[in-house]
Chains A and B, each alone.
Chain A
């Protein structure tokens, strides 16, 4: 599916049983859910995987209950947050020695969650740039690939990658600036 659907359109299609739309919904929010688990709540990888799968299972099962299709993102964030806290509480019950650590993990995430909200808004802006810019910025900033790796994968001279990254970032800045978009909104 090459067309970028809004969150609401995506939810409506998922509810109608469109598998391609579900794939896209998972793709769109997978990084966000993953980041909440491992960055905001610092869950170990195996716990993060359980929460990740549980989040999407519940989203799939309860799409009908979503009051506003536009609200999918805050709903997913809230669900992920709740499941992470449940997981940390369960870990605390199993090992009293970890209790202080768990309290710390649960007390800290608000700032990080706000930052992740901004990050996913920026990522949505990325979708407006065209596939080349999306790919280059994703490979460099999100996948931590080198200029050589990016150049090899995209068939571009490695020496041109830095300038392309710079141009794409400027486009992204303009996207938010010109349209008056605020990634934090």
Chain B
């Protein structure tokens, strides 16, 4: 099966760019995940910190200066439950 120019153009039009901010945020995930590792390490070493996280994750993160991004919060919740 081959495609003529019109069919190719149609398929190219189907993939507009995702919003730049979304792409940038996804590209920054590895850095954010390193921050996550740091939080988990602290929670393992500091039981009071861990208790605060378990009680109110978002608030505990804010009070420690971390931005409680929903994706990271969910990832952290899973890590803390392990």
Contacts and interface: CB of A to CB of B under 8 A. Distances in A.
B77 to A, nearest CB: 12
Interface in B27-82: 27, 29-30, 33, 70-72, 74-75
Contact of B11 (A19, A50, A183): A183
Interface residues of B, number: 29
A60 B11 contact: no
Interface of A: 17, 19, 22-23, 26-27, 30-35, 39, 49-50, 52-54, 56-57, 60-61, 115-116, 118-120, 122-123, 126, 137-138, 141-144, 166, 169-170, 172-173, 176-177, 182-184
Contacts, number: 109
A177 to B, nearest CB: 5
Contacts of A30: 17-18, 22-23, 26
Contacts of B8: 122, 169, 172-173, 176
B16 A142 contact: yes
